[in-house]
Chains A and B, each alone.
Chain A
């Protein structure tokens, strides 16, 4: 089974702190994604990556950056956390092959910025 592991289930940070959210997948998938989920807004794409050191902006990249130094690991960075970044963050990975692009999701990290 594909496993996507997010480093923390719950995280509490203070405004202005630098925050790292880590995601690791064990199926050698090329594509990895970071989403945030908010009530009434659903899931929205922050950043994604096709390959090591590659990154593409999603729909809401402002205030975030990402790092993919190894194929299995995709990190989301909040350079200076703000209260409007309080949210549930979900990582996903996929292998785009033969028209298939099923995404496998981690359990999520619920981040509170105080």
Chain B
């Protein structure tokens, strides 16, 4: 079973700061997902990646398959970025359910 570790668990930063959230996993995967969960429960998929780097607006996700590690970066952070960010992995049999990290609770203060 894949073990997914995220760090930090909690992060408070000032508006405008560059944010990095890290994720590592123990077993080979077909893809890694970054998800965002706002208060109230709704979860949105931000990225799915199996190699390299993806960018969407101020969000950047990278993955290093050899090191079994991924990072999510937020540039020019804003209070509306405050949320829980969750890393999840798809097993090698890609259509199975995800295995999740415990999440990083991010607060961006004005």
> Which residues of A are interface residues toward B (Cβ below 8 A)?
30-31, 33, 35, 40-45, 48, 50, 56, 58-59, 88, 90, 92, 94, 96, 99-105, 107-108, 110
Taking CB atoms and an 8 Å cut-off, the chain B residues in 1-58 that contact chain A are: 1, 30-31, 33, 35, 40-45, 48, 50
A110 and B50 contact, CB distance less than 8 A: no
For chain B, the count of residues having a C-beta within 8 Å of the partner chain is: 26
Residues of B within 8 A of A90 (CB): 41, 43
Residues of A within 8 A of B97 (CB): 33, 35, 45, 48, 58
Residues of A within 8 A of B96 (CB): 48, 56
Inter-chain pairs besides A42-B101, A103-B33, 10 sampled, C-beta below 8 Å: A42-B103, A43-B88, A48-B96, A90-B43, A99-B50, A102-B33, A102-B48, A105-B42, A105-B45, A107-B40
Query: A42–B104 Cα gap in the complex (Å)?
Result: 10
Top 6 A-B pairs, shortest CB-CB distance: A108-B41, A96-B95, A45-B97, A105-B43, A42-B102, A43-B100
Query: A48–B97 Cα gap in the complex (Å)?
Result: 7
Query: A42–B23 Cα gap in the complex (Å)?
Result: 14
Residues of B within 8 A of A42 (CB): 86, 100-103
B94 and A96 contact, CB distance less than 8 A: yes
Q: Does B62 contact A (CB under 8 A)?
A: no
Residues of B within 8 A of A101 (CB): 30-31, 48, 90, 94-95
A-B contact pairs, 16 of them (CB 8 A): A30-B95, A41-B102, A42-B103, A43-B100, A45-B99, A48-B97, A99-B31, A100-B48, A101-B48, A101-B90, A101-B94, A102-B45, A103-B98, A105-B45, A108-B43, A110-B41
Query: A35–B97 Cα gap in the complex (Å)?
Result: 9
Query: A50–B103 Cα gap in the complex (Å)?
Result: 27
